[in-house]
Structures are given as C-alpha cells and as structure tokens.
Structure 1
Amino acid sequence: MRTIAFFNNKGGVGKTTIATTIGYELSRKGKKVLMIDLDPQSNTTQVVLNDAQVERIYKKSSNIDRIKTIKDVYNPMRDSNEPEIGNVKESILSGEKHGFKFDILPSNLNLSEFEDTLSDAWSDLRANKLGGFRRTNWFIQLEQQIKSDYDYVLLDLSPSLGALNRSVLLNVDFFIIPITGDIYNVYGIQNIGRWISQWIRTYTRSLSYLKDDYDAETLNRSQINLSLKQENFKKFAGYIVSRAKYSKKTSGIISYQKKHISDIKKMIHESLYFATVDNIELTSLELGEIREIMSLLTESQGEHVPSYKRVAEAEQNHKKWDKRSAQNAEYAIMKTFEQITTNLLINVGDKNDTNN
C-alpha cells in the first residue's frame, strides 16, 4: 500500500479536483483506492457525495442511517487518555455508493478540533512524552488497520502548515504539490521546505531523548515513527501545473504564468531537494499540466461525477465526437489525467500497469 498526500501551502490550486480525478483514474486502472478527506472545508467530501449523503453526515435523526466520517476515527483519541484512534474500516464509505469508484473516508466540519488535540500532542512530544509521540503518529495506526485492503490511499489536505498536516506529512509515503502560475506559489513552496525541515529537527531531537527513557521493545510496539531523519525523508514525488492559461498568439503558456512557473521550479529545487524521491530527475518532477478548464470541471463536480466519466465509459466503443462537442473536451481532460497518473505511478515506484 502506498499513501500519497495532495498538499500546497497555497489555496485555490485545484487540489480537490486533481485529487479526486487521480483517485478515479487509479480506480479505472484497477487499483484499490481509498480517499481520505482531511480538509476541514470538506471540499472532496462535497464533490464526491450528493446532498442527501452529506445530510446523513450531519442530520441528527433516528430515521437516518448516519454516514460516518474521520471524526469517528479520531474521537476515541480525544475522548480518553489512551492515544488510540477508533475503527477506520467502519467509517469508510464504499465506492459503490457514489460516482468516483474509490472508497472514501469523509471529512467533518468539526475536524479543526482534532487539530487542537494534535497541537497539544506536539507540545508533549517536545517534552519527550511517549503519549505525545503516539498521538502525533496517529496516521501510523490508521495505516496498520487498512494496509491489506488498498493499493493506494490518497489524502486531500488543507493549505495549512498546522498540527494535522504535520502529523500526516511526517508519516505519509509521498506527497505531491498542485501549483498555479502565480508568485504566491513560490513562497508557498519555500514555506513547505522550511517547515518540514524544522519539524524533522524537532522530532528527531525529542526522539533521541525518548530512546534514553524507554527500551526498544516498548518503543517498537508503540506505533511511532522511529526512523525519521532529514536524510531519509524522501517523500516529494512531483508537482502538477494547474489552471495553465495559453496565449492565442503563441499557443504557449502566457508570459506572466511562464515566468512564475519557472521561479516555482527553481524554488522546488532549492527548498525540496532534500525531500525528493531518490532517482527522480528534476525534469521528471513535473507530472503534467492541466489547462484552464475549470468551468467544465465545476459542472461535473455539481453532478458528483468525474469530469470525463461518460467519455471513459464510451471509449471502449471507439466513439469519436465532433470537434466542438463537450465530449471532445472531456476526452482531452481524460488523456491529460491518464498521463499525469502514469507519471505519478512511475515516480512512486509502481511501474506495473502504467500503460493500462
């Protein structure tokens, strides 16, 4: 099982659209996929589930079969002195219940309360307390519960550099960054590299003291990350250029976006070189480029289906469409995400089925 987080310290980069569409594409390739929505805004949950299903998350009624969320997973850790999460499998909604094919662990608008728990846990970790380490590493417990059930677990994170995202980014197998061609992404990338480095230094320093206080057997059964170091933090698997605007005159990306994208690539090399997956060249970090097609994507999200689902299902009949038809645009989107997903599989070391 591989775990991949979609993250940027800058909002408005199409993260939810990219995460859900790649999840759908991986499912089309025959992969068993779980999507976890860890953004308190719950955008992925709202895109995937219809209104009636969202009501079943929040509406308190004995006549409604409630849909469980990430809150059901973290609540046991918040409500007791034991640093253990609840049953993950019981909170997962099957891909048969919606149009995106992957299973989903929905978010909850109260997710910010877990942020407070993890913020306190980080303080305890810095004080060399084992409970702080166990709470900070809650994601390891989640992985252990589902590791035999999925090929890929995708996580949609908020733009925050807070305690929740920290707990995931330190333990996830890989992360990818959707970017847009504006200057704020340059500074966002710089922040990511600087903060991750700082987190690792704090964690490893406290871990060294913890190893003095506890024997190896106790630590090994505590489900905490015992191997985290700056030199082995090889988790950055690439970036995706989102909302690329093209010039009608040159058929290339418009000048201001081109300049900022060039600056972003330089910042990625400077700030995230230490975190880049081994054996990936800088030129291979660009997983793909998505043109400015947000109106079409927004329409599909309103219908709670992937933007090119009807085209994907019809492709087996070798159907072609008129150049001006909406299906033709959907076909272009499908081919874009097929290539992005193939590139992603290569970068995370899954070379099987990349041509499917």
Structure 2
Amino acid sequence: MGEEFATDFYWNSDHKTSITTIRDILRPIEDGDSEISKEINPILSSKNRFEVDLLPGHPGFSIVEDRLGAAWHDLLGGDIGGIRKNNWNTEFCANVEEYYDIVFFDLGPSLGSINRSVLIGCDYFITPMGADIFSILGVRNIASWVEHWADLYENSIGLSQQRNPGRLDNYNIKERPSVLNGYLGYTMQQYITKSKQGVRRPTKAYEQIINSVPSIIEESMGPFFGENTSTESAKLGDIPHLYSLIPLAQSVATPILDLKSSDGLVGAQYKQREDYEEIIKKIAKNLYANLGESA
C-alpha cells in the first residue's frame, strides 16, 4: 500500500473509502452473527505495482479473536452456529473462487483462534523458516497444534451431523480440513555468515540447524504432505538476505522484481535484484509442482 496510503487509510478514522478490510468481512461475526459480509472491494491490482488484488488487514481484527474463541467452544459441542463461525474462511473462499485462481493468506506466527479459522478454509499451507532453533520449534508446534484441533473439529462435525442430520448441508462447511493433506513445503531464510580475515565463513551452529531441517520437516509435516509433496520437494528454496533491497522496496511500495533506478536502485543492488528474480522463479516453479500444476 505504501506508507502514505496506509497512514491515511488506517489513521484517519473519518476517511471514507470503499476498500474492504478483513475486519469488515468478519464484522457480522464480531456483532454476534454466524454470517460474514459478502461485500468485497479489495485494493485492485491496477492500483498497485505488485499487480495483485489486496484485502488489507486491520489492527482491529484482533477484536474478533474472542468471538472466534467462544465459537470454538460452541463448535466442540456440535453447535451449528459455532461450526459456521469457524468456517467463515470456507465461506469467504467460496465467495471469491470465481474471480481468483489462487488466494494467499499471510498469517502471523500465532497458534490462536484466528489462524485456526483461516486454516480451516484453506486448501494448502506453507511454512517460511529462518535458520534458527525457533523455526524448528515453531514447525513442531504447528504440527501438534494442527493435529490436535483438526481431530476435535472432525469429532464435532460428526456430533453435529448425528444430532442434526443434513443441517450442515445448507452451509459451506468443511467436514475435514483440506490442510490435513495440504502441506506444500517451506522456504529457508539464509543467515549472514561471519567474516574472518575478509573471508565469509559459515557458522557451525547454523549449519547444524540447516542440515537438520529436512528430517524435522519429514517428522513433523510428513503426515500433512500434499499428494505431490515429498521430503525432497518440500524445500521450495532459499531466500537470500537482501540487505538494503527490502527497505527500498517498502519505501516505494514496489515488489523487489520491479525496482528501478527511478526508485533509488543503485550499484550492486541491480545484481541482487537479478539474483532474487531467479530465486523466486525457482521457488514458484517448485510450489506449482507441489500443487500438481505446471509453472
């Protein structure tokens, strides 16, 4: 969106805009209903240099977390309203499927009710990782968390169908979350090697972490592998440290691949951008292969 646009969009509460945020979509649930808003007006691809439609987040979205947490407890008892609220993203995806081939949901590293409800409606998921122990622990936590709530979810669906045969057929409800067989892989953020006498040397601790990742992924995420995902193909690619390219891209609200001299791109940054383009192409190709598609 860019800093100027985002500041005006979020700060000026009196600013009237037709752009929909994720909080607007869930406003009815925030108000106690089981429906979501069907009105969707994203920031259009023609209005930004990323050339994608964007449904912005909103700081107030966290307010709905309590509602979704309470709805989860209702779901556990087989309550249809609780099941519908936790399937808000299933309904959302059904509303937009005629307009988009792929929708990406960018989630924070939380194992809370918001992320759970988003994943219920998703078909696939990816885990970006860093070369650190916290990413390893994070992947293990995600695996146990998904397995736990998915088991409870399926039991609750069965309970509801037993009590109210055929009632769930009236709504967009997933009987079994697709993400249980939808893990597409991970990316690895490269670490910065230390320099000794002008020569960059890998750090032993980081190398040990990196070398352990494939086995950890197989152990933790193996049960969730998609049909075309294997331990080898799960590694989608490495993301290099891009140094000054990230703040530059952010300052001009532009994807790295589209940075130009008029944006402030200089010197060695041109080579970094070209290298990044090749890396992203490989990651996209690997991602499409795990989706069962040809890039």
Q: Same fold (TM over 0.5)?
A: yes
Residues 21-60 of structure 1: pairs in structure 2 closer than 5 A = 48-60=1-13
Q: Conserved in 2, the CA contact under 8 Å of 1:121 and 1:132?
A: yes
2:255 aligned with 1:306: yes
Alpha-carbon distance, 1:199 to partner: 0.6
How far does the alpha carbon of each residue in 1:136-170 deviate from its partner, in whole angstroms, 9 at most, with x for none?
01001101111000111011001100001011223
2:266 aligned with 1:330: no
Alpha-carbon distance, 1:246 to partner: 4.5
Aligned Cα root-mean-square deviation (Å): 2.5
Matched with 2:63 is 113
Alpha-carbon distance, 1:347 to partner: 0.8
Alpha-carbon distance, 1:51 to partner: 1.7
Q: How has the CA–CA distance of structure 1 residues 291 and 134 changed in structure 2, closer, same or farther, with 3 Å as cutoff?
A: same
Alpha-carbon distance, 1:77 to partner: 1.8
- Determine which of 151, 155, 180 is the counterpart of 1:205: 155
Q: Conserved in 1, the CA contact under 8 Å of 2:181 and 2:227?
A: yes
Q: How has the CA–CA distance of structure 1 residues 50 and 96 changed in structure 2, closer, same or farther, with 3 Å as cutoff?
A: farther
Matched with 1:74 is 26
How far does the alpha carbon of each residue in 1:235-294 deviate from its partner, in whole angstroms, 9 at most, with x for none?
110100113335678978543222112223222111111101123221111111112213
Q: 2:37 corresponds to which letter in structure 1?
A: G
Bigger relative contact order, structure 1 or 2, given CA contacts below 8 A and separation 6+?
1
2:47 aligned with 1:97: yes
How far does the alpha carbon of each residue in 1:32-90 deviate from its partner, in whole angstroms, 9 at most, with x for none?
xxxxxxxxxxxxxxxx334234412441336x53643111110012214x300002423
Alpha-carbon distance, 1:184 to partner: 1.2
Residues 107-186 of structure 1: pairs in structure 2 closer than 5 A = 107-186=57-136
- Give aligned pairs, total: 291
Aligned-partner Cα distance in 2 for 1:130–1:50: 42
Q: Conserved in 2, the CA contact under 8 Å of 1:180 and 1:261?
A: no
Aligned-partner Cα distance in 1 for 2:254–2:286: 23
**Helix, strand or coil: the match of 1:93?**
coil
Q: 2:182 corresponds to which letter in structure 1?
A: K
Matched with 2:211 is 262
Q: 2:63 corresponds to which letter in structure 1?
A: E
Instruction: Report the TM-score, using the length of structure 2 for normalisation.
Output: 0.90
Instruction: Report the TM-score, using the length of structure 1 for normalisation.
Output: 0.76
Q: Conserved in 2, the CA contact under 8 Å of 1:57 and 1:67?
A: no
Matched with 1:33 is none
2:295 aligned with 1:348: no
Aligned-partner Cα distance in 1 for 2:7–2:164: 45
2:176 aligned with 1:236: no
- Residue segments in structure 1 that go unaligned for 5+ positions in a row: 1-47, 312-320
Matched with 1:15 is none
Q: 1:256 corresponds to which letter in structure 2?
A: A
Matched with 1:245 is 192
2:238 aligned with 1:289: yes
Matched with 2:225 is 276
Aligned-partner Cα distance in 2 for 1:68–1:57: 12
Q: 1:283 corresponds to which letter in structure 2?
A: E
**Helix, strand or coil: the match of 1:156?**
coil
Q: How has the CA–CA distance of structure 1 residues 243 and 174 changed in structure 2, closer, same or farther, with 3 Å as cutoff?
A: same
Alpha-carbon distance, 1:327 to partner: 1.1
Q: Conserved in 1, the CA contact under 8 Å of 2:22 and 2:56?
A: yes
Aligned-partner Cα distance in 1 for 2:257–2:106: 21
Alpha-carbon distance, 1:131 to partner: 0.4
Aligned-partner Cα distance in 2 for 1:181–1:169: 25
Q: Conserved in 2, the CA contact under 8 Å of 1:244 and 1:289?
A: no
- Residue segments in structure 2 that go unaligned for 5+ positions in a row: none
Alpha-carbon distance, 1:98 to partner: 1.8
Q: Conserved in 2, the CA contact under 8 Å of 1:121 and 1:135?
A: yes
- Determine which of 36, 47, 50 is the counterpart of 1:85: 36
